[in-house]
Each structure stands twice: as C-alpha cells, then as structure tokens.
Amino acid sequence: MELFEILTSAAFWAAAIRIASPLIFATMGELICERAGVLNLGIEGIMVAGAFAGWIAVWAGLPLWGGVSVAFMVGVGLGGIHSILSVPFGLSQHVVGIGLTLLATSATFYTYRVMLPEVSTPPKIDAFQPLHIPVLSEIPFFGPALFQQTALTYLAFILVGVVSFTLYRTPLGLAVRAAGESPAAVAAQGLSVTAIRMGAVMVGSGCMAVGGAFLTMSAFDSFFFDMVNGRGWICIALVVFGAWRPGKALFGAILFAAFDALQIRLQQTGIGAVVPYQVFLMMPYILSIIALIVMSRRAAVPAALMVPFNKGER
Amino acid sequence: MSGVESAQPVLRLQNITKRFGSVTANEAVTFDLAKGEVIALLGENGAGKTTLMNILFGQYTADEGTVTVFGKPLPPGNPRAALDAGVGMVHQHFTLAENLTVWENIVLGAQPLHAPRLRSGAAKAKIRGLSEEFQLKVDPDAKIGALTVGERQRVEILKALYRDARILILDEPTAVLTPQETDALFATLRTAIDLGLSIVFISHKLHEVMAISNRVLVLRHGKLVAERPTLDTDRAELSALTVGAETSAPDLAPATPGAALLTLCDLSTSAIGTAPGLRHANLTLRAGQITGLAGVSGNGQAALSDLISGLVTPQTGQLKVAGDIVTAWSPRDAIGQGIARIPEDRHKTGTIADFDLTENTILETYATQFSKRGWMNWRKAKAHAESLIETYDVRCSGPDARIRLLSGGNMQKLILGRVLENAPRIILANQPVRGLDIGAVNYVHGRLAAARDAGAAVLLISEDLDEIMRLSDVIHVISDGRLSSEFARGTMQPEQLGVWMAGDGFEGHDYAA
C-alpha cells in the first residue's frame, strides 16, 4: 500500500515538520494577538513583509540571525501600525487587518522593485542548513524525521513552549489572557489595557514576520512574490482549531502540514495518474475545514476578542 | 459618633467637579472619611454617586478638585495609584474575567508584570486566609463563570483585600443579593471595620443605609445636599432628602382577579446559556391582577420571559393562552394574542438605538397599522409617535430624535406607551424600573396598576423585592428554573421569600429535578 509506505517514511515526517514551521511561528503570533483581544488580519501581509525583510537583509550582508531579527522588527513595526489603529483608536479590526495586509504586501513589492530594479530572477542567499543534533539525529526513524531540521524549525518548537509558559505561568501572560477576556477587569486592577494589547499585537506580529522569513531563509533561499500564498489565513484557522491554546495549535499546524506533504506525494503515485492534481492541492484545505468543524464546536473564544476598550466609558 | 476616631481623615474629597459634555455629574463635592467609619452615599440613579466613586478610584478624571488619601494627594485618572494608596472598589457591575479562575482574577495586576512566574501557591494561601478572616467563602480554583452572583461579589471584595485596601468602596453591593446574602455581606463589612478599614457604601435602600452606616451623605443632581449622622436621622427624612420633592408611590386598591389569560402547566424549557430553563413550572396569569416574580437574576427569569414573548417554545408541558392550548408559538403569535412586553434590557432588546422615536414606536405594528400595500405611511406613524410623546410625557426634542439620546427614564416611558396603547391583554414587565429614579419609578408603577385595573394580566419580573412586594397581588419565587406556588399579597415576609430565593423552600414539595 503506497499510503502506508508514505506515512512510515522518515522523509515524509521531516517534510511535514518543515512545512509546519512557518505556520507554527505565525500561528503563535496570531494566538498572542487574539488572546489579548485583537484579531490580526494583517498576518498575511506581515508574513510577506517578513519573508522579504529577512532575505534582503541577508542579501545585503547581514548574518542569518541578523536577517531573522530584521524580519522580527519589521513585524513589530507593522504590528505597531495595527495596534495604534485597533487599540487606542478602537477601529474595526477587520478593516485595519485587511488594510494592513494590502499595505504590507504592496509596500514589500514596491521596496523589492526599488532595491532590485534590474533583476529578472531574484538573487539567492546562503540559507539556514539542517542542523544535525548529536545523538538525537542518529536515532533510527525519529532522528531523520525530527532532528535533522534547520535552527529556525527548532526555534519554532521552542517558541510554542515559551508562549505556553508565558501565557499560563507568568503575571504578564495572565494580564494578556485577562485583556482578551475582560478588559474592564484589567483596568480595575490598575493595569493598562492599551499597553497590554498593543504589546501583544506587536510581539505577535513579530512572530508572524519570522514565520514569513522562514520561507525565504530556511525553506527556500530566495524571495518570490506569491510565496506566502495564503499561509496567514490558514494560521487564523489554526488558532481557532487549537481553541486558542498553544499546544493544540501546534498539533493543528503539524496536522495541516502533514496533509500538505501527503498530497505532494500522492500526486506521484498511481492515484495521481487518474485524479487531477488540483484535487490534491485542495486536500489540506478541505481536511482543515472538516477538522475545524469537528474541533471547534465548543472552542473557548476569548470573550472580549474584537471588542475595543475605552477607558472612562461604560 | 459610635467608636469613630477623630484623627486625620483617611480620605478627603475636595471640590470634586465632573462634567460629561453639558451634563454636570458632580459639582463641588467635598467630604471626609474617618478611620473605621462607614459613610453611606445616598442618592437616586443619576445623582452622580457612581461617577464620584469612579473619580476617587481613578477610572474617571475630575475636571476640578482633589482627592487625598492618608494625607497624600492621589494623582488623577490612575486606578493603580488608588490601589497602591489603599483604595479598593467593588463595582456594581463586576469586573471579573469569567473564563479565568478566582485566584487568577484576584492576582491579576497584584504581581509585577515582569516577574518571571506566577506565584500561585502563595496567592491561594493568602486568599484562603482572607476568606477565613472576613467570612468570604469561595474556592480559589473555581472559574468565575461557575459562581453565583453572591460568590462573585465575594471575589470582588477579596480582590480589594488582597491588595491591602484600607478604604473599601462598595457601589450598590446589595442590589443583586438575597436578604440572607446581604446579612452575610454586612457581617463581613463589620469585621472589616473592626480591623480598622473605612467604608464608603453606595445604596438607595434606606433600611440598609440605616443598618450599616455611621454617617449619611445625600447626593442630588451631582451636588451634596445633606449630611447627617445616621443616629440623628430616619428613613422618612432621608427619603425626602434623596428625592427633593415629594412623589408618592401609587396606592393600590385590592385586585379583582378575572379569568386566567395565560397558564403554564408543568412546563419545561431548555437552558439559555448558563441560565437554567424552566423546570416543571406552573403559573397562572389572571386578568386584573399583577403577578410578581421574585428571584435572584439568572434563575430562569429569562426563560420565562422568552417563553411568554414567543422566543422559545415549551419542551414539555402545556402553554395555554385564554384557555386554549398553544400549538404554534412565535413572537408574532404572542403579539397576535395581545401580549405586550417591556423587555429587560431597554437598550438591547427594547429599542433600536440609532432609529428615531417614530420608528421605535411602531416596531411591532408597522406592518398592520402604518403601511398600506407595502408602502409605509410615515405621516400617520409620526402623528402616532407625537401623541405617545405627549400622553406619556417623554422628554425629547421630537419624534425625529434618535432614541439613544434619551435618558433611561424617558426611553422607558416611550416603551411603556408602545406597550399600553394597544390595550394589551397580557403585559410582561421585565425589570420595568431598573435604573430609573424614584419619580419615573412611581410613574411606571402607576401606569402598570392602571393597566391592571383596566383588566390586563401583568407579570412583573424584578430582582427588587421591595418593588415586588409593593406592587404584586400575588407572588411567585423562581429559583434554578423552579417556580414556587402562589403567595397572596401580604402573606410573606422578605426573609421568607429570601429562603425561597436561595432555593431552600422547594424541599418537601413536588418539584421534580
């Protein structure tokens, strides 16, 4: 059975983890924003900007981690625009988010053309290479599947732990969760809802941008216009799928990535000769819709998500 | 004054003035609070009590004046500074996050945000200690959403005590409590006073003010109009001071009950969110009679009100209107049967905020009375609105005003007019006077009594026991979706009703779960 062979191959799972990595970064970013009460639909544009910023920084001579930092800072800046409009000004988060996606995407393409006016094919950089972890990467099956990834992939998994610990085990995380549940409670305890929400949106947007940068700096080694290709929207669904919990969202990201890796391989099997390839391309999306329906029936959406808070009003 | 030390005041408000647009909410309010003292802040709704306390707590910024706590001026507009100075506030509308636990709500903001991790063990231990000391029983690990209103209030008080509050501000703390819970709250407050805390107690219930305070301050239209040591005053004087001019509650003649207009027979409905549905409820609404429904909110009132409005249908049991068993039941059917509603929330379900008065008065009748062959007759609708404004004394700029610009009392008068104009057979009055001042309360009550005398069956749902006992000919108590049997006017004391409201009267009766 071809399916069985695919599912038991270490290469398949290594690919799934690799495909999941940018989703994990961006999903954690979106989750932080939404836990604080802000829906960040700028995610798609922020990922595009992050993908470009990290890559161009390395092309311009910065080290790889310098490029990641630049991407993060670009995300923080774009998140700053979002948060000023959506938090203190209290504008519609849908409109602000979509607007930011359009702005960030167009500004990225514009910058690309300004910086590289003559090129027909974008230049390549020396991207992150797989990092073999001593001992662990030697384990049969699990070694090649999990422990021969690039440093950014390991960082994605570390990020899940950090976000989870911060949200549930620190006073800061409690304040973020409370800001998404009842901003009035946060204000009554003497904390600034505005500062907490703006901070969460900026840090979350930074994570999204790193997710974008993974595409140009680890998955590939160059920048293309349609690279992000809807991954941001998938991450918004993954946050719902994960019921706003980091661990469950990580599971969702890996599940989606596994379906994506699977459909590529199925196209090359006997079935692929009969069924049009577009059906395989649809597969992860159809399955994620089904998974969403099943999983998110009783999801605990933050009570104050998308509700602006104005001090001094009732 | 009873055991109050006359040293430096712990709290001093000087010349506090606050304006919202053209409305002056507080005008030059000045008072002191001594250590161990309880001040009652009395006043009608809209007199500026809550605004004043929100300024003190830093949630609003005063236009003029200063707040001094323990001799130090408090920076304006900064709740954190107020908390740090020892001021704790129990808001009328609780500020709790429902999906978080009790201890998380209490600890929120109490540990610095840059601290590397939450100290949950120490926090819970401190909460348990405070619970013990102040008789505030609550499980630190429970989610707020699972708590009763009384328990949530205890969490609010614990929040203040956890941060070492020396001055407690309680904004209408008893509005949502049963009489027994109120007694428990007062016991807690007395413990606090014995430990040297000072309290500002906001209320408009005179007997509570007399029971707990050392001194009474009366606010009227934002101004401090009187100050009395509690021992030197009485309820009659305070009542007159609060209202200013005398208005009297309507005198109710004994009812002459007629035919049963609406009957629930062993009727159950599904739950609404966390609130229970009705459980095997029996109820009869008779013509010419006001039926009062007492109970703590969230015990099935919403289910009953939705049922009568036609928003939900019975799961089991029968609903009879004028003796006939109802088969099809929708809001349209309910309106067709002559059921008129004063909804619980006049802002959300009673009116459409950005529609004008004309549009709001014809929400139920636009299709039948104000249109012809699919065209609206706006001239007729406007004339109709004008006559309602005139008849029901709605203060507004005219029928073209958006209804959101009206005060609560005037909005309610318009709803009342909309309800009464078609001579309804059954009137569902759900919290009809919540948030209204005494003048408007008496007006609404008078109109409801008049409708009763004209032969309507009135169901009055209220959390205010005084209102229920004053107006109702017969009383039912609702608790956890169960309805008590009928008590005739004058046969029950508030304490007895309180036992039922707490769910304790139902044993020994045949109330299946």
- Tell me if B67 sits within 8 A of B56, measured CB to CB: yes
Domain B247-338+424-513 has CATH 3.40.50.300: yes
Percent of chain B with pLDDT over 90: 53
More confident residue, B506 or A219: A219
Least CB–CB distance from A178: residue in B91, B108, B118 = B108
Average pLDDT, chain B: 88
Amino acid at A120: S
**Per residue in A52-102, pLDDT tens?**
999 999 999 999 999 999 999 999 999 999 999 999 999 999 999 999 999
Q: What is the pLDDT of residue B1?
A: 41
Per CATH, which fold does A2-124+143-295 belong to? ABC transporter involved in vitamin B12 uptake, BtuC (1.10.3470)
Range among A66-75, B166-175, B247-256, B321-330 with highest mean pLDDT value: A66-75
Contact residues, A window 266-305, toward B, CB-based 8 Å cutoff: 300, 302-303
**Per residue in A40-63, pLDDT tens?**
999 999 999 999 999 999 999 999
On the question of pLDDT at A123 being above 90, the answer is yes
- Tell me if B200 sits within 8 A of B173, measured CB to CB: no
Q: How confident is the model at residue B178 (pLDDT cuts 50, 70, 90)?
A: confident
Chain A residues lying within 8 Å of B110, measured CB to CB: 189
Checking DSSP bridges between strand B487-488 and strand B281-286, what pairing results, if any? unpaired
Eight-state DSSP code of residue B101: B
Interface test with B, best of A172, A301, A305 (most B CBs within 10 A): A172
Tokens of B308: 């009568």
Lowest-pLDDT choice from A268-277, B85-94, B395-404: A268-277
Which long-range contacts link B110-114 to residues 24+ away (Cβ below 8 Å)? Answer: B110/A189, B110/B162, B110/B163, B111/A171, B112/A171, B113/A171, B113/A172, B113/A175, B113/A191, B114/A172
- Tell me if B223 sits within 8 A of B261, measured CB to CB: no
Residue A32 CA to residue A83 CA, distance in Å, equals 13
**Per residue in B139-164, pLDDT tens?**
999 999 888 888 999 999 999 999 99
Beta bridge partners of B314: none
Q: What is the pLDDT of residue B508?
A: 56
Does A164 touch chain B if contact means CB atoms closer than 8 Å? no
Nearest CA to CA, how far is B124 from chain A (Å)?
14
On the question of pLDDT at B512 being above 80, the answer is no
Residue A36 CA to residue A167 CA, distance in Å, equals 10
Does A191 touch chain B if contact means CB atoms closer than 8 Å? yes
Partner-chain contact A181 B60, CB within 8 Å: no
Least CB–CB distance from A300: residue in B80, B83, B99 = B99
Q: What is the pLDDT of residue B498?
A: 83
Please give the ipTM for the structure prediction. 0.88
Partner-chain contact A178 B114, CB within 8 Å: no
More confident residue, A301 or B194: B194
**Per residue in A231-261, pLDDT tens?**
999 999 999 889 899 999 999 999 999 988 9
Percent of chain A with pLDDT over 90: 69
Write the class of the CATH domain B353-421. Answer: mainly alpha
Partner-chain contact A190 B91, CB within 8 Å: no
Q: What is the pLDDT of residue A1?
A: 65
For chain B, give every domain's residue range: 11-243, 247-338+424-513, 353-421
CA atoms within 13 A on the CB side of A11: 4
Chain B residues lying within 8 Å of A184, measured CB to CB: 93, 95
On the question of pLDDT at B30 being above 70, the answer is yes
3-state SS, residue B372: strand
More confident residue, A284 or B362: B362
Chain B residues lying within 8 Å of A182, measured CB to CB: 95-98
Eight-state DSSP code of residue B290: E
Chain B residues lying within 8 Å of A311, measured CB to CB: 59
Partner-chain contact A191 B108, CB within 8 Å: yes
- Tell me if B79 sits within 8 A of B59, measured CB to CB: yes
Q: What is the pLDDT of residue A2?
A: 76
Q: What is the pLDDT of residue A313?
A: 47
Partner-chain contact B60 A312, CB within 8 Å: yes
Partner-chain contact A178 B105, CB within 8 Å: yes
CA-nearest of B120, B158, B95 to A174 is B120
Partner-chain contact B118 A182, CB within 8 Å: no
- Tell me if B290 sits within 8 A of B298, measured CB to CB: no
CA-nearest of A232, A193, A221 to A78 is A232
Residue B355 CA to residue B13 CA, distance in Å, equals 41
B→A contacts (Cβ < 8 Å), by residue, are 59-61, 78-84, 89, 91, 93, 95-100, 104-105, 107-118, 159
The gap between the terminal CA atoms of chain B, to the nearest Å, is 52
Partner-chain contact B95 A182, CB within 8 Å: yes
Range among A195-199, A282-286, B175-179 with highest mean pLDDT value: A195-199
Q: What is the pLDDT of residue B93?
A: 82
Q: What is the pLDDT of residue B4?
A: 46
Chain A residues lying within 8 Å of B91, measured CB to CB: 188
Which string of b and e fits B285-294 if b means at least 16 CB within 10 Å?
A: bbbbbbbbbb
Amino acid at A2: E
Least CB–CB distance from B91: residue in A181, A188, A311 = A188
Per CATH, which fold does B11-243 belong to? Rossmann fold (3.40.50)
More confident residue, A297 or A4: A4
Partner-chain contact B110 A169, CB within 8 Å: no
User: Structure pTM?
Assistant: 0.79
**Cβ burial, residue B298 (10 Å; 0-12/13-18/19+):** middle
Q: Which residues contact B322 (CB under 8 A, 6 or more apart)?
A: B259, B261, B262, B337, B425
Chain B residues lying within 8 Å of A187, measured CB to CB: 59, 79, 95
Nearest CA to CA, how far is B322 from chain A (Å)?
41
Q: What is the pLDDT of residue A297?
A: 67
Partner-chain contact B97 A190, CB within 8 Å: no
Does A91 touch chain B if contact means CB atoms closer than 8 Å? no
Average pLDDT over residues B115-124: 92
